[in-house]
Structure 1
Amino acid sequence: MSKTPPDGAKQVSVVVATYNRPTDVDLLLTAIAACDTGIVHEVILVDDASDTPLGVDAAEHPFPVRLLRHERRRGAAAGRNLAGQEATGDVLAFLDDDARPLPDWFAVLDAALTHERAAITGRVLPFDSSVVARARQYRYEFRYAQHSPGSEVTFFAGGNSAVWTKDFLTAGGFPDVVTASDNGLVERLAEAGGRVHFVPGLRVAHRNSKGAGIALREAWRAGRLAPRSTPAAAVRRFADSARTQPWSDDPAAAGLNLGLQAANSLATTLPAA
């Protein structure tokens, strides 16, 4: 049975872009139901042309589940934008299919997303422990340590965040690019007069590792999409990264992070594609 939201409560449309992960989607829907405080208005799943089309029995869940599908691969940004256009809630909450919101996720969202804030984003925690996962988590924690709770930030976790629907639509949604669309939304919101705030209590557990090859590809793509850089500036970024790595605590993760930074820095020095 669906939980009854209190009068005047937010109506949250949870948006999940997914590809070839039906088991993860089932687990995520179960996790959403477990931590819903009554404000989940709907869950919108966007199947990005999975090899076997995603099937969901909406009757099994205590909230409406809507399933949209791309007939060809478009990427997470396009899927989230489609859901944003179709959503009927006043808040869009973004989760990855391989993420699990912690039990207080909706309670934190409800309290933290005030009308003075266009959007909020939180912390990502790992539920895997490979070298790639540890390396990625170190980068996350290094970023978090630079921000106090509630501060304005220039990053946005597309798998752990919420935004007022009207602000999202006014900004034009995520840039439709393969990599770095999350932070592109921050820029678009800022141009429209909105700001993203860091809420460390908004936490999800996430599968951090998709393999070293994918991590390298993402680092390279992010560099190709970034503003062009001189070789000297790229070397400085590489040197700065080398100084901040956890060499004594986790040399394997440190070495991998430095390799990813090398790929990213090199990519910024090449002529624009």
Structure 2
Amino acid sequence: MRVILDAEVRRSANGRVLLGGSPPRVLRLSESGSRLLDAWLVGAVVTNEARALARRLLDAGLAHPAVGPTDVPANTKSSVTLVVPVRDNHTGLAALLAAIQDSLHTVVVDDASAVPIPAATHRHHRRRGPAAARNTGWHSATTEFVAFLDSDVVPRGDWLGSILPLFDDPRVAAVAPRVRTRANGAIGRYESRRSALDMGPVPAAVRPHGRVRYVPSAALVVRVAALAAIGGFEESLRFGEDVDLVWRLHATGYSIRYQPDSTVHHQPRDTVAAFARQRYDYGTSAAALARRHPGLLHPAYLSPVTAAPGLLALTAHPVTAAVPILATTLRLARTVHRQGVPLPAALSFAANRERMVLQQWTIALRRAWWPLALCTRRGRRLLLAVHLASATTMSLDPICALLRVVDDSAYGLGVWAGCLRERTLAPLLPRVRIRKRRRA
């Protein structure tokens, strides 16, 4: 195994202090640890004796596994079975199978299509949902790995070439490629910038409170033994079954990786109504997931200090929210600076932490909390300002900016509907953590 530092990690204090990771942190290395990292960054292989440090960096999101063009993985395509769940999408399935070109053993599961799928290996006579279709598929696999691809995605190039080497680490249970959308039409143009399935260009360890919290099962390669260990997909979940699977794998002690060097393309919805319905459906899964995974699906995770700016913005003049933000930033920067980090780097690190907290507030306001914001004039003004700031930051054209509003609003309505159905408020309430003081 070889490793590389995350692109946003900074080294200070003669290379012995790392700033970054997911969530952001300050990690001090020993002198020997710093020398090991120096060697890894110029291509040295991680030895068994140094694997503990490498795992610590990987788990913290400070480093990622490196896959080079000359790497020969222990696992090959012959160890992979492709599983495709499909319902009524004859055209999409044909495009997917044409792209695969018989390079993989393929299992197609027809989930009760109105017109039966001729290429189906298995057929459900009544609709059971994508989770059940995937379970039917992987249960028939005799290989070590299964690659799940939905019928509306098409892999590009040697998409498994940068995924399979990551499974050389026996702790890795699943690896997901990047899901891109072609910028065709208004919806495609929007989703090419901000798709719910696209986790971005940076590799990541996938974990509930990390930068990448989940990966979609639209394209996911999984170790069969890990699937068997947790019982596969939860068939009672119509939506969010992929989030549930990833979080259960993580809770069992497995590692899940996001590998954007591998790419598949996804076909977006054809109409705004279908697009909004998809986002609404995604939102309805939040309450069921919150019940299955207590504490992991709140709209924001705060401390009393980080909660103050949002409360001030909602209850007083928004400018007053800048006071605790500035104070917290300076206090954290001073703490980091005392660990030997140059002041500019310490300020940058602290400002990034505060930016992430502010981002939690704005996302929650646009999505889960927007119905409440509409109830007051101050709330409506703040909601409008947040949407305008979001469109400006992403450089969205007017049509895409409106689609962003549709996206967030539909998802939020789905969250509320799911909460009513499941009789829980967890996906609507922030979680405020209060640290207990240690007694002397």
TM-score range, shorter chain: 0.7 to 0.9
**1:83 alignment partner, one of 137, 155, 162:** 137
Q: Distance in 1 between the 2:284 and 2:181 partners?
A: 27
**1:159 alignment partner, one of 213, 218, 223:** 218
Q: Tell me which residue corresponds to 1:63.
A: none
**CA deviation vs aligned residue, 1:241-272 (integer Å, no higher than 9, x gap):** 66333664322122112122112223333543
The answer to whether structure 1 residue 260 and structure 2 residue 323 are counterparts is no
Aligned residue for 1:105, secondary structure, equals: coil
**1:97 alignment partner, one of 151, 156, 160:** 151
**CA deviation vs aligned residue, 1:122-144 (integer Å, no higher than 9, x gap):** 21122351222222332238963
1:95 offset after TM fit, Å?
0.9
1:119 offset after TM fit, Å?
0.6
1:210 offset after TM fit, Å?
3.7
TM-score w.r.t. structure 2 length?
0.52
Q: Distance in 2 between the 1:55 and 1:128 partners?
A: 31
Q: Tell me which residue corresponds to 1:48.
A: 111
1:7 offset after TM fit, Å?
8.5
Contact 2:173 2:254 (C-alpha < 8 Å) held by counterparts: yes
**1:196 alignment partner, one of 256, 262, 280:** 256
Aligned residue for 1:13, secondary structure, equals: strand
Larger radius of gyration: 2
Q: Tell me which residue corresponds to 1:32.
A: 100
Q: Tell me which residue corresponds to 2:88.
A: 20
Contact 1:224 1:272 (C-alpha < 8 Å) held by counterparts: no
Q: Tell me which residue corresponds to 1:183.
A: 243
1:181 offset after TM fit, Å?
1.6
Q: Distance in 2 between the 1:142 and 1:24 partners?
A: 17
**2:397 alignment partner, one of 225, 245, 250:** 250
Aligned residue for 2:101, secondary structure, equals: helix
Aligned residue for 2:258, secondary structure, equals: strand
Q: Tell me which residue corresponds to 1:120.
A: 175
Matched letter for residue 252 of structure 2: A
Contact 2:75 2:164 (C-alpha < 8 Å) held by counterparts: no
> Measured at CA, do residues 28 and 8 of structure 1 come closer, stay the same or move farther in structure 2, by a change above 3 Å?
closer
Which 5+ residue runs of structure 2 have no aligned equivalent?
1-72, 207-211, 291-297, 300-313, 315-360, 371-382, 422-440
Over the aligned positions, Cα root-mean-square deviation in angstroms equals 2.9
1:236 offset after TM fit, Å?
5.6
Aligned residue for 2:233, secondary structure, equals: coil
1:158 offset after TM fit, Å?
1.3
Matched letter for residue 75 of structure 1: G
Q: Distance in 2 between the 1:8 and 1:189 partners?
A: 21
Q: Distance in 2 between the 1:27 and 1:166 partners?
A: 30
The equivalences for 1:211-222 within 5 A come to 211-222=271-282
Contact 1:154 1:196 (C-alpha < 8 Å) held by counterparts: no
Matched letter for residue 164 of structure 1: R
Q: Distance in 2 between the 1:142 and 1:86 partners?
A: 27
Aligned residue for 1:100, secondary structure, equals: strand
Contact 1:45 1:67 (C-alpha < 8 Å) held by counterparts: yes
Q: Distance in 2 between the 1:33 and 1:170 partners?
A: 32
1:203 offset after TM fit, Å?
0.5
The equivalences for 1:200-239 within 5 A come to 200-227=260-287, 234-235=364-365, 237=367, 239=383
Contact 1:46 1:70 (C-alpha < 8 Å) held by counterparts: yes
**2:162 alignment partner, one of 102, 108, 117:** 108
**CA deviation vs aligned residue, 1:20-72 (integer Å, no higher than 9, x gap):** 223332332221127x4xxx3x211000111111113xxxxxxxxx6111111
Identity among equivalent positions (%) equals 27
1:174 offset after TM fit, Å?
2.1
Q: Tell me which residue corresponds to 2:318.
A: none
The equivalences for 1:133-148 within 5 A come to 133-140=188-195, 144-145=199-200, 148=202
Which 5+ residue runs of structure 1 have no aligned equivalent?
1-5, 57-65
**CA deviation vs aligned residue, 1:155-211 (integer Å, no higher than 9, x gap):** 122122201011112122222222222211111111221122110011012212242
Q: Which moved more, 1:88-97 or 1:250-259?
A: 250-259
> Measured at CA, do residues 142 and 241 of structure 1 come closer, stay the same or move farther in structure 2, by a change above 3 Å?
farther
Contact 1:179 1:218 (C-alpha < 8 Å) held by counterparts: no
Q: Distance in 2 between the 1:192 and 1:112 partners?
A: 19
